[in-house]
Structure 1
Amino acid sequence: MQAHSTPTQPLPTRSLAVAALFTIVEWYDFTLYLYFATVLSRVFFGGGAVGLGDALAGFAVAYLMRPVGAIVFGHIGDRYGRRPTMILSMGMMTAAMLATAMLPTHAQVGPAAGWMMIGLRCLMAFSVGGEYTGVVAYLLEGARAERRGLVTSLASAASEVGALLAAGVSALTVASLDEGALAAWGWRIPFLVGAALAGIILLARSTMEESPDFLRQQAQATTPRSPLRHSLRHHRAAIGRGFAISALGSISYYVGITYVPSFLSAMGTTGEADALWLSTLAALAVILVTPLTGLLTDRIGRRPVLVGLAIAGVVLPMLLFLLMRGGFGLALAGAVVLACLGGAVSAVGAVATAEQFPGEGRLSGLAFGATSATALFGGLTPWLAHHLLEASGWAPAPGAMIAIVALCVLPVLVMLPETAPRKSKKADPVAGRPF
């Protein structure tokens, strides 16, 4: 990392709050798809184990568009500013969610319904690719140095609010309608809610100010002409570290949190409605854990928190997935602990990955490292966990996936340079920002 002078005008708290809150839509949509996977498998893919597998495979294929979107939006954000990136991505997300709510079903048009759903999933993933990295960079660059962990973790906390909304709306929809009404029209309700929320957020986001670090780059004429080439040339090691951190965060979140309702339904532990209500309670727990983790990283550093969470990721997940077969009470306990683990990793991962890069080329660096890992260890892993469970019948199989990744990235985390300003002697490229 390299030192840069700080801007004279800080970001107002309102702009930081607006940016932090608006990861809600991104995670509402993707969490909704996974929480609603068993319903959508019947509506679009014909139902049964094959239909659920196709629904999860569609999620995985679409998620591969996320790093493509991150690269495109990363170039825009690094060349033209964080603000236009976040406005454009939110506009595309609004359109994709509204179009999803209007799709015909499998009963109406046959297999074409599934292909149309996958196509809109790809569009959504492409737009989301630039959303989260843009928000994380914006929060990091606008926060006071000693509060970067807390402020940047708010992006993860807000995403959990989106997950909570997805679980709550899904559970309420499933519990309120019979099977016929749910398949005929009820499934559209959660997507219409998301489209309306995205539209409101798009309007509010237009009032945000530009990142002070990007304004500093413009004033000093240091904005890279080719951010992608700049990141690959100067920050390859940082890209690798960001990939490792995000790999652990992604598999902990997508297998340890969003796959859990499908796991509980597949194992016969709970019905669809109970599994979704359980996930709602787990999301509440994560919302509490996330900012606490951010605060902890500001006090003791990013590296010790990441190392501790990786060790927990090796030890706990298999036991917790086995525990969740024991009835609703044990399922709730296991799901909450898994969710807290995934949320904590996401909280520290947000700030730790972004701090690997200076402001110049930051979004492009995150696209190559963090977002690529999310595509592989986030989008593919629910589908893989489902097939491993189907093939083996071994309940701890999804937990074993988390444990293997945690074990592989642990050496990288042990050697990770400390980036928390209070713990690092290195120059701070975004220090001095007020909260």
Structure 2
Amino acid sequence: MTPARETVDERPIPATSGHAGLSHTGMSRRSMVIAALSTIVEWYDFTLYLYFATVLARVFFGGTASSLLITLGGFAVAYLLRPLGALVFGHIGDRFGRRPMMLLSMALMSLAMLATALLPSYKAVGPIAGGLLLLLRCVMGFSVGGEYTGVVAYLLEGAPARRRGLVTSCASAASEVGGLLAVAVSASTVHLLDAADLESWGWRIPFLAGAALAGTVWIARAGMQESPDFERQAATGAMPTRPLRHALAHHRTGILRSFAISALGSITYYVGITYVPAFLTSAGSLSEGMSLWLSTGAALVVIAVTPIIGALSDQWGRKPVLLALALCGVLMPIPLFQLMASGSAGLAMVGAALLAAVAGGVSAVGAVATAEQFPGEGRLTGLALGATGATALFGGLTPFVAQALVARTEWPPVPGAMIALVALAVLPVLARAPETRPR
């Protein structure tokens, strides 16, 4: 005899129902701005590792033929800890509040960034340098696991119902500002220093800057309000005492849909944007400095596109916008990677910009669409199981796989084929999913 449990409709609950408290507008503007801008920090450091991958390969792994692949492999391994971090921090956020969860994750991130900046190099201590770098990347992956989903949920729960897409997309836009800052600092450091100074001490500058930025955000977060939706749960005693069990029992369909949406967003972002500098350097025959400057331009495209797509999803709905972007993901990446491999800086810029527009659009609408798959109760744990799980597989692993496949097949468009295959697989899920925009 199976135990009785509450009958739960697993369909996404629109804000107008009041179930998830999504119609609240009592959040202070200051708290919303701090939450949105704080994603700059997490993406600054996490993408800094990819943008600086060729330099770190020489500094920490001796610059051998396999050092870049090992460096990208470290990024992939760190990403595998994101779901674990998301579950741990999600439990804290669902059980004790969004604010304490975001303070704790940012504190851990600040310490990991500072420790990275102080690491010894391969020349100083040998292979142990690479091991220490990878260990700190795992700490970073763990802390970032709870960061992005926490911020997205916080913005969603504090936004006016008719502007949820636009407001929540600010997390994606701000994270790309962090990526832009990372690539700009990386490019400036590479251009201003000669190779000897760069590998001796210059590589530390971007990580020290990130540690200072993270500490500043932690101080600002200390004055944030709690999410109005969590306050509703606390007032009514609705917080799940066991968030993981609650999510698995009541939100299975939402977990699967958020996994599919996040898979598309992750592979378009991490292969179509953050892997591009390494691709342009290795397969596109461009210099490190030129590749980083091209990526800076791509980041500007994402920042411009993100709020537009977020607002369009408020006007037209999440589903049609996601379907259109998934079709772009099927048709565009292969020819665009071929374009970037041509060796021409101009053509590479066109390819990188178009890929960035698609990736930025998916990230914008994907942020609100994944969070809307769940009511307030258990939302962070549901996102950890669905969205963050997909990001670990289709985000952190894919730059490593893309680089390995390019080297093995000697076919430059193979990263584009990876994006196209995932987009094709996600299309049927999106086509069957209900609309989650508030009516």
Shorter chain as normaliser: what TM range? Answer: over 0.9
Q: Which residue of 1 aligns with 2:392?
A: 375
Task: Write the letter of the residue equivalent to 2:325.
Answer: L
Alpha-carbon distance, 1:150 to partner? 0.2
**Aligned mates of 1:380, 1:334 — CA distance in 2:** 22
Task: Write the letter of the residue equivalent to 1:399.
Answer: G
**Aligned mates of 1:9, 1:416 — CA distance in 2:** 27
2:168 is equivalent to residue 166 of structure 1: no
2:46 is equivalent to residue 30 of structure 1: yes
Q: Which residue of 2 aligns with 1:420?
A: 437
2:252 is equivalent to residue 233 of structure 1: no
Task: Write the letter of the residue equivalent to 1:271.
Answer: S
Q: Which residue of 2 aligns with 1:318?
A: 334
- Among 5, 18, 36, the alignment partner of 1:4 is 18
- Give SS of 2:402's match: helix
Task: Write the letter of the residue equivalent to 1:103.
Answer: L
Alpha-carbon distance, 1:45 to partner? 1.1
**Aligned mates of 1:378, 1:30 — CA distance in 2:** 12
2:313 is equivalent to residue 297 of structure 1: yes
Aligned ranges 1:188-203 → 2 under 5 Å: 188-203=204-219
Preserved contact between residue 244 and residue 373 of structure 1 (Cα < 8 Å): yes
Q: Which residue of 2 aligns with 1:67?
A: 83
Task: Write the letter of the residue equivalent to 1:157.
Answer: A
**Aligned mates of 1:372, 1:405 — CA distance in 2:** 15
- Among 62, 66, 85, the alignment partner of 2:101 is 85
**Aligned mates of 2:18, 2:295 — CA distance in 1:** 43
**How many residues were matched structurally?**
422
Which runs of no fewer than 5 residues in structure 2 stay unpaired? Answer: 1-11
- Among 237, 240, 246, the alignment partner of 2:262 is 246
Alpha-carbon distance, 1:416 to partner? 1.2
Q: Which residue of 2 aligns with 1:428?
A: none
Q: Which residue of 2 aligns with 1:143?
A: 159
- Give SS of 2:176's match: helix
- Among 253, 278, 282, the alignment partner of 1:262 is 278
Alpha-carbon distance, 1:48 to partner? 3.8
2:55 is equivalent to residue 39 of structure 1: yes
Preserved contact between residue 37 and residue 52 of structure 1 (Cα < 8 Å): yes
2:322 is equivalent to residue 306 of structure 1: yes
Preserved contact between residue 23 and residue 135 of structure 1 (Cα < 8 Å): yes
**Aligned mates of 1:36, 1:331 — CA distance in 2:** 19
Alpha-carbon distance, 1:192 to partner? 0.3
Q: Which residue of 1 aligns with 2:368?
A: 351
**Cα deviation per residue 1:351-394 (whole Å; 9 max; x = unaligned)?**
00000000000000000000000000000000000000000110
**Aligned mates of 1:14, 1:414 — CA distance in 2:** 38
Q: TM-score when scaled to structure 2? A: 0.95
**Aligned mates of 2:204, 2:25 — CA distance in 1:** 45
Q: TM-score when scaled to structure 1? A: 0.96
**Aligned mates of 1:14, 1:230 — CA distance in 2:** 32
Relative to structure 1, the CA distance from residue 40 to residue 150 in structure 2 (aligned partners, 3 Å threshold; closer, same or farther) is same
Preserved contact between residue 41 and residue 55 of structure 1 (Cα < 8 Å): yes
**Aligned mates of 2:419, 2:122 — CA distance in 1:** 34
Q: Which residue of 1 aligns with 2:121?
A: 105
- Among 397, 415, 420, the alignment partner of 2:414 is 397
Alpha-carbon distance, 1:14 to partner? 1.1
Task: Write the letter of the residue equivalent to 1:235.
Answer: H
Which runs of no fewer than 5 residues in structure 1 stay unpaired? Answer: 423-435
Alpha-carbon distance, 1:8 to partner? 7.3
Task: Write the letter of the residue equivalent to 1:190.
Answer: P
Alpha-carbon distance, 1:269 to partner? 2.9
Alpha-carbon distance, 1:268 to partner? 4.2
Q: Which residue of 2 aligns with 1:177?
A: 193
Q: Which residue of 2 aligns with 1:409?
A: 426
Q: Which residue of 1 aligns with 2:356?
A: 339
**Aligned mates of 1:90, 1:53 — CA distance in 2:** 29
Alpha-carbon distance, 1:9 to partner? 7.1
**Aligned mates of 2:133, 2:160 — CA distance in 1:** 42
Preserved contact between residue 355 and residue 419 of structure 1 (Cα < 8 Å): yes
**Aligned mates of 1:353, 1:285 — CA distance in 2:** 23
Preserved contact between residue 173 and residue 364 of structure 2 (Cα < 8 Å): yes
**Aligned mates of 1:167, 1:367 — CA distance in 2:** 28
**Aligned mates of 2:275, 2:194 — CA distance in 1:** 24
**Aligned mates of 1:383, 1:9 — CA distance in 2:** 42
Relative to structure 1, the CA distance from residue 9 to residue 162 in structure 2 (aligned partners, 3 Å threshold; closer, same or farther) is closer
Relative to structure 1, the CA distance from residue 8 to residue 312 in structure 2 (aligned partners, 3 Å threshold; closer, same or farther) is closer
- Give SS of 2:267's match: helix
- Give SS of 1:380's match: helix
**Aligned mates of 2:251, 2:25 — CA distance in 1:** 28
Q: Which residue of 2 aligns with 1:209?
A: 225
- Give SS of 2:66's match: helix
Task: Write the letter of the residue equivalent to 1:329.
Answer: G
- Give SS of 1:49's match: coil
Preserved contact between residue 269 and residue 328 of structure 1 (Cα < 8 Å): no
**Aligned mates of 1:366, 1:252 — CA distance in 2:** 19
Alpha-carbon distance, 1:46 to partner? 1.5
